[in-house]
């Protein structure tokens, strides 16, 4: 497990945390954009290692969480149709739509399958010419190249029975929207490392300049996160606002240019609704004219969707960083991973699920008092 | 993948199916009909493989003799896919699973039943390989398969082969173990690396094949457990085999049944590098991944080192480790100390772990 254990070294982590304590003279609010980072922070207890004044605000970068309810409902409707094989990544299956989730559709006889790559879905389409195979293509820039490749391959192979139900979202417009939102408190950002591995970070200097915020490209392991936080605090303390790369072993300034070229060919920028947040202009991708024939929304013409969110769920406030999960009245009561009211309680990248799964339903005192009482021997 | 496929496939080279294969190389509905075909299956396949006096009578029930004392009984059904995987097959699982359920209850496993639900069209050569694996596993575990049944379902109504086994064992005298008997202060030991079986299955599951050297840990634990109980039986409070849901589910169940808190240290968990890497890749946590040849022991702290030494001297326990202890704090919860020195709750999973999007 080289390349992993070395980024999870407890002693080095403690040393880096002490360094952050030494640098920080004032309180700062820093948002980690990506849900994978939220998961790692909570799982490893990184937030417990920081000075009291350094607050991590959990960002909207959970693809499952921000996929609009209307699209989930469309997915449920398409998946329930006879003659359809509906393929999805695993964690979309439990996301609640207005009525039920994909697991329930599967239980009722729908052919819903978990795949690990959209190209597996293309293969299914080739093997099942009498079926319509639909892949649920959601996510940020990270998953976009594989989804783009699936329609690219389907077109090249002349497959008429493959389509993509697509709702891609983009990080830079979301950051701008958060910074422009009234009452915003975020002063610095940890940029999503894997998004930047695809896109590079050439898109971000204008944001740093316009909003005067430091933006640090950051990875996902404990030491990556502590390094990203440290660099953000150093900039904030010095009054600087630059784009910095703390994930150099993966991310290059220009990113993966072959992937970007494919994305430009297959997708075009569009306005997107973000679940819990609302429509953000030019914040997503849809299939471009040359690939529109593979758009599942056009192929299936699902109409009559009437969405209704849970009245109790405050996932939107959580995704904007306005509240912490445990501040929602339904958290751990009406809303648990077993009975999620909102998508943030479903995915392991969702902030609510991360808080619930790692015991953040306990008060800080309870958890501290819990202790493991273990002695190394 | 090619190599894995080989590792996971049954080895038919030394197996000659005793059935007259000429007419029916695959299962047909008649094999479950109670007529001539069914009898042939019994006479030519099951009886030669499992032969013992109780089975040979071929009565409606096996008649068994057991000395006095208390008995333990358990049953389990096996529906694993694929049927053959690196390190074993549904055959070994069906025997070892029930043997282990009896063994962790403090019983000496004695007799098993075996029921097959076969799908029309299932290759007889594969059934023969499964039966052979069961016979070998039963011999290794020292149990007899004394009664059985075969049903055939129409093509498309089954997944090739399902097996149910039930087992009877004799409880050892002076042993009182149970999921409700864990006590604050107990040391928690695991008999070896976790997550091997689940990841071995994942590595050959359709749509998810990945290259790896991971093999199922499927094994009968009655020998290992017998040695522990003989050495320190009175000090063992709870034993479980962490199968479905993995170590985390088993520990959570014990915490709830005993009304105690369980504290483990993530750095102490024995996990093979290949298993850890595969889990990272798929976004899974090895504490939730299934095992088929591991046992967890809750023992009085003063006996912990002795039990650990007994485990490590057994071929199935070489990588045994102490992973944590029982505490009166945080009752009914499993808390792990992370490598960062922070604490996290490890909850019971809802259903299966779902692979993440990215």
Please tell me if residue B181 touches chain A, with a CB cutoff of 8 Å. Answer: no
Gap from A370 CA to chain B (nearest CA, Å): 6
* Any domain includes B356: no
Whether residue B11 is found in the same domain as residue B147: yes
Whether residue B131 is found in the same domain as residue B191: no
Whether residue B297 is found in the same domain as residue B149: no
Contact (CB<8Å) B340/A49? yes
Return the closest-CA partner of residue B61 out of B14, B111, B26, B99. Answer: B111
**Which of A49, A337, A358 faces B344 most closely, judged by CB atoms?**
A358
- Interior angle at CA A339, CA A337 and CA A345, nearest 5: 40
Whether residue B121 is found in the same domain as residue B225: no
Whether residue B215 is found in the same domain as residue B87: no
- Alpha carbon distances (Å) from B218 to B98, B180, B201, B208, B278: 12, 26, 11, 21, 19
In this prediction, residue B206 has a pLDDT band, given cuts at 50, 70 and 90, of: low
- Alpha carbon distances (Å) from B357 to A35, A117, A147, B284: 11, 9, 12, 12
| Chain B neighbors of A120, CB-CB under 8 A | 207
Helix A144-156 × helix A257-266 angle, to 10° = 60
* Any domain includes B149: yes
Q: Which of helix, strand or coil describes residue A188?
A: strand
Nearest chain B residue to A115 by CA distance is B207
- Alpha carbon distances (Å) from A258 to A194, A254, A264, B197: 16, 11, 10, 39
CA dist., res. B176 & res. B234, Å (int): 8
Gap from B156 CA to chain A (nearest CA, Å): 15
**Which of B335, B342, B357 faces A44 most closely, judged by CB atoms?**
B342
What does the pLDDT look like over B27-75, one tens digit per residue? 998 888 878 888 889 998 999 999 999 999 888 899 998 888 899 999 9
Contact (CB<8Å) B335/A372? yes
Whether residue B320 is found in the same domain as residue B209: yes
| Chain B neighbors of A67, CB-CB under 8 A | none
If you average pLDDT over residues B269-283, what whole number do you get?
90
Residue keyed to tokens 């316009």: A210
* Any domain includes B155: yes
In this prediction, residue A338 has a pLDDT band, given cuts at 50, 70 and 90, of: confident
| A238's tokens | 């010095």
Contact (CB<8Å) B357/A49? no
Return the closest-CA partner of residue A316 out of A60, A73, A42, A39. Answer: A60
Gap from A10 CA to chain B (nearest CA, Å): 4
Whether residue B139 is found in the same domain as residue B277: no
* Any domain includes B351: no
| A88's tokens | 């999805």
Return the closest-CA partner of residue B278 out of B322, B215, B344. Answer: B215
Chain centroid offset of residue A85 CA? 25
Please tell me if residue B331 touches chain A, with a CB cutoff of 8 Å. Answer: no
CA dist., res. B268 & res. A345, Å (int): 30
Whether residue B39 is found in the same domain as residue B162: yes
CB A174 within 8 A of CB A204: no
If you average pLDDT over residues B153-177, what whole number do you get?
95
Please tell me if residue B356 touches chain A, with a CB cutoff of 8 Å. Answer: yes
Map out the domains of chain A with their CATH numbers. Answer: 1-301 (3.40.50.11740), 315-358 (no CATH)
Residue keyed to tokens 């021997």: A377
| B225's tokens | 């457990």
In the prediction, which pLDDT does B9 show? Answer: 47
B255, B327, B342: best mutation site toward chain A, by most A Cβ within 10 Å? B342
CA dist., res. A23 & res. A30, Å (int): 15
* Any domain includes B179: no
Of the residues B109, B140, B171, the one at which a domain ends:
B171
Return the closest-CA partner of residue B162 out of B122, B202, B201, B193. Answer: B122
In the prediction, which pLDDT does A362 show? Answer: 54
If you average pLDDT over residues A120-146, what whole number do you get?
96
CB B3 within 8 A of CB B202: no
Contact (CB<8Å) A93/B354? yes
* Any domain includes B180: no
Residue keyed to tokens 């379902």: B153
CA dist., res. B129 & res. B146, Å (int): 19
Whether residue B84 is found in the same domain as residue B206: no
User: Is residue A370 predicted with pLDDT exceeding 50?
Assistant: no
| Chain B neighbors of A4, CB-CB under 8 A | 276-277, 280
Tell me which H or E stretch contains B129: helix B124-141
In the prediction, which pLDDT does B343 show? Answer: 81
Please tell me if residue B286 touches chain A, with a CB cutoff of 8 Å. Answer: no
Domain harbouring B327, CATH code: 3.90.650.10
- Mean pLDDT (chain A) is 90
What does the pLDDT look like over B117-156, one tens digit per residue? 999 999 999 999 999 999 999 999 999 999 999 999 999 9
* Any domain includes B353: no
Of the residues B126, B145, B171, the one at which a domain ends:
B171
| Chain A neighbors of B283, CB-CB under 8 A | 348
Whether residue B154 is found in the same domain as residue B191: no
Note the pTM of the prediction, 2 decimals. 0.82
Q: Domain tally for chain B?
A: 2
Please tell me if residue B81 touches chain A, with a CB cutoff of 8 Å. Answer: no
If you average pLDDT over residues B324-331, what whole number do you get?
93
| Chain A neighbors of B329, CB-CB under 8 A | 369-371, 373
Contact (CB<8Å) A370/B261? yes
Q: Which of helix, strand or coil describes residue B169?
A: strand
Residues in chain A: 377
Whether residue B155 is found in the same domain as residue B202: no
User: Is residue B116 predicted with pLDDT exceeding 80?
Assistant: yes
In the prediction, which pLDDT does B347 show? Answer: 85
DSSP per-residue codes, A267-282: EEEEEEEETTTEEEEE
A133 beta partners: A85, A162
Please tell me if residue B350 touches chain A, with a CB cutoff of 8 Å. Answer: yes
* Any domain includes B248: yes
DSSP per-residue codes, B291-309: -SS--EEEE-GGGHHHHHH
- Number of other residues whose CB lies within 10 A of the CB of residue B347: 18
Range of the domain at B21: 2-171
Peptide bond into B180 cis (omega under 30): no
Q: Which residue has the higher pLDDT, A10 or A348?
A: A10
Please tell me if residue B337 touches chain A, with a CB cutoff of 8 Å. Answer: yes
Q: Is the dihedral of CA A283, A94, B269, B215 positive or negative?
A: negative
Return the closest-CA partner of residue B198 out of B309, B295, B275. Answer: B275
Return the closest-CA partner of residue A315 out of A132, A142, A64, A137. Answer: A64
| B59's tokens | 């009565």
| 3-class secondary structure per residue, A27-62 | CEEEEEEEHHHHHHHHHHCHHHHCCCCEEEEEEEEC
Of the residues B115, B146, B171, the one at which a domain ends:
B171
Whether residue B210 is found in the same domain as residue B332: yes
A374, A375, A376, A377: best mutation site toward chain B, by most B Cβ within 10 Å? A374
User: Is residue A291 predicted with pLDDT exceeding 90?
Assistant: yes
A169 beta partners: A284
Residue B210: left if φ>0, alpha if ψ -120 to 50, beta else—which one?
beta
For residues A52-84, b (16+ Cβ closer than 10 Å) or e, as one string? eebbbbbbbbbbbbbbbbbbbbbbbbbbbeeeb
Contact (CB<8Å) B358/A120? no
CA dist., res. A168 & res. B129, Å (int): 49
What does the pLDDT look like over A209-258, one tens digit per residue? 999 999 999 999 999 999 999 999 999 999 999 999 999 999 999 999 99
User: Is residue B15 predicted with pLDDT exceeding 70?
Assistant: no
Contact (CB<8Å) A369/B343? no
CA dist., res. B326 & res. B343, Å (int): 15
What does the pLDDT look like over A56-77, one tens digit per residue? 998 888 888 889 889 999 999 9
In the prediction, which pLDDT does B325 show? Answer: 96
Domain harbouring B114, CATH code: 3.30.1330.10
Q: Which residue has the higher pLDDT, A42 or A245?
A: A245
């Amino acid at each position: 497990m080289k390349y992993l254990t070395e980024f999870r070294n407890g002693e080095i982590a403690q040393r880096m945390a002490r360094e952050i304590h030494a640098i920080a003279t004032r309180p700062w609010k820093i948002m980690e954009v990506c849900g994978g980072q939220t998961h790692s922070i909570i799982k490893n207890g990184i937030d417990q290692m920081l000075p009291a004044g350094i607050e991590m605000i959990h960002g909207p970068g959970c693809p499952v969480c921000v996929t609009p309810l209307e699209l989930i409902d469309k997915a449920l409707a398409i998946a329930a149709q006879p003659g359809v094989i509906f393929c999805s990544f695993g964690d979309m299956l439990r996301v609640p739509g207005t009525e039920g989730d994909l697991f329930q559709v599967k239980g009722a006889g729908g052919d819903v399958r978990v795949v690990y790559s959209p190209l597996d879905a293309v293969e299914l389409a080739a093997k099942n010419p009498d079926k319509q195979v639909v892949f649920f293509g959601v996510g940020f820039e990270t998953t976009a190249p594989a989804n783009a490749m699936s329609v690219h391959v389907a077109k090249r192979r002349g497959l008429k029975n493959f389509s993509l139900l697509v709702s891609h979202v983009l990080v830079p417009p979301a950051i701008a929207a958060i910074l422009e939102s009234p009452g915003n408190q975020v002063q610095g950002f940890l940029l999503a490392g894997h998004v930047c591995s695809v896109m590079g970070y050439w898109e971000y200097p204008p944001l740093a300049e316009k909003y005067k915020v430091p933006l640090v490209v950051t990875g996902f392991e404990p030491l990556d996160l502590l390094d990203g936080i440290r660099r953000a605090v150093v900039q904030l303390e010095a009054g600087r606002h630059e784009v910095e790369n703390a994930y150099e072993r993966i991310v290059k300034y220009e990113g993966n240019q072959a992937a970007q070229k494919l994305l430009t060919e297959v997708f075009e920028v569009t306005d997107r609704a973000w679940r819990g947040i609302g429509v953000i202009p030019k914040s997503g991708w849809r299939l471009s004219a040359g690939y529109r024939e593979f758009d599942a929304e056009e192929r299936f013409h699902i109409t009559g969707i009437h969405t209704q969110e849970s009245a109790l769920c405050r996932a939107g406030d959580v995704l904007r960083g306005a509240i912490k999960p445990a501040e929602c009245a339904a958290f751990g009561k009406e809303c648990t991973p077993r009975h999620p009211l909102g998508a943030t309680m479903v995915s392991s990248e969702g902030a609510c699920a991360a808080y619930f799964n790692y015991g953040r339903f306990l008060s800080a005192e309870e958890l501290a008092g819990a202790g493991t009482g273990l002695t190394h021997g | 993948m090619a190599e894995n496929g080989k590792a996971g496939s049954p080895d038919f080279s030394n197996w000659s199916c005793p059935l007259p294969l000429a007419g029916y190389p695959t299962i047909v509905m008649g094999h479950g009909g109670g007529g001539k075909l069914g009898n042939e299956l019994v006479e030519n396949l099951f009886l030669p493989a499992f032969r013992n006096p109780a089975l040979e009578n071929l009565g409606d029930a096996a008649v068994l003799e057991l000395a006095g004392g208390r008995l333990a009984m358990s049953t389990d059904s096996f529906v694993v896919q694929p049927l053959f995987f690196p390190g074993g097959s549904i055959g070994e699982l069906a025997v070892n699973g029930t043997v282990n359920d009896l063994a962790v209850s403090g019983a000496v496993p004695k007799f098993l039943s075996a029921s097959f639900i076969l799908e029309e069209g299932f290759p007889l050569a594969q059934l023969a390989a499964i039966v052979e694996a069961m016979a070998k596993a039963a011999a290794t575990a020292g149990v007899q398969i004394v009664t059985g049944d075969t049903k055939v379902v129409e093509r498309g109504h089954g997944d090739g082969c399902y097996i149910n086994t039930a087992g009877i064992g004799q409880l050892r005298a002076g042993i009182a173990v149970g999921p409700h008997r864990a006590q604050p202060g107990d040391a928690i030991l695991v008999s070896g690396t976790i997550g091997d079986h689940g990841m071995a299955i994942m590595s050959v599951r359709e749509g998810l094949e990945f290259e790896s050297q991971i093999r199922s840990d499927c094994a009968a634990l009655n020998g290992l457990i017998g040695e522990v109980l003989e050495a320190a039986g009175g000090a063992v409070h709870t034993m479980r085999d962490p199968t479905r849901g993995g170590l985390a589910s088993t520990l959570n169940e014990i915490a709830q049944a005993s009304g105690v808190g369980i504290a483990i240290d993530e750095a102490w968990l024995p996990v093979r590098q290949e298993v850890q890497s595969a889990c990272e890749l798929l976004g899974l946590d090895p504490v939730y991944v299934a095992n088929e040849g591991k046992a967890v022991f809750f023992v009085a702290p003063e006996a912990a080192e002795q039990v650990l030494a007994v485990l490590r001297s057994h071929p199935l326990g070489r990588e045994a480790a102490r992973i944590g202890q029982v505490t009166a704090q945080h009752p009914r919860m499993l808390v792990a100390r992370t490598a960062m020195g922070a604490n996290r709750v490890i909850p019971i999973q809802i259903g299966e772990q779902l692979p993440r999007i990215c």
